[in-house]
Amino acid sequence: MPFEHAAPHVIEVTVEAADIDAYEHVNNAVYLTWLDRAAWSHSAALGVPLEQCVALRRGMAALRTEIDFVRAALAGDRVRVATWIAGSDGRLRVERRFQVVRNADDATLALARTEYVCINLDSGKAVRMPELFARAYVVTNS
């Protein structure tokens, strides 16, 4: 298995022409979009879809993201974006890890981590996670 985690949540994307920059590879900003899509997909799978966040007026906002670009993705590549919960204090913060892998050769293209903080969607201020979030965002075995 090409992933660093034994059972990550995985989405698959195809590199589109609009993703390609002047260097003829996927632009760095596109990776951030892919990570975001994977995180939302995983949250929904964990029982915390966007609609639930809006209803509760709570959300996990990205505080910091680090991406290590290992290899370039090119036009037409199919890639898997894997994510998993790597840390959670059950109160305010969650750390999510990511790995982007090209389908054709299982090469890791990028590794990333994002730190999230729970916020009140009305005020934008940090608040304690709802119980739903604390139960959903737990570390799983790697």
Indicate the helix (H) or strand (E) that contains 123: none
Can you say whether the dihedral through the CA atoms of 123, 124, 125, 128 is positive or negative? positive
For residue 66, count other CB atoms closer than 10 A to its CB. Answer: 9
CB 65 within 8 A of CB 112: yes
What is the pTM assigned to this prediction? 0.95
Helix and strand numbers (H, E) in the chain are: 3, 5
Which one, of 17, 57, 61, lies nearest residue 36 by Cα?
61
What's phi and psi for 27, nearest 5 deg? -65, 145
Burial of 85 (0-12, 13-18, 19+ CB in 10 A): buried
Rounded Cα–Cα distance for residues 21 and 18 (Å): 8
Instruction: Tell me the pLDDT tens digit for each residue of 77-89.
Output: 999 999 999 999 9
Instruction: Tell me the pLDDT tens digit for each residue of 27-49.
Output: 999 999 999 999 999 999 999 99
What's phi and psi for 49, nearest 5 deg? -75, 165
Mean pLDDT by 10 residues, the chain (142 residues): 90 97 96 98 97 97 98 97 97 98 97 98 98 96 64
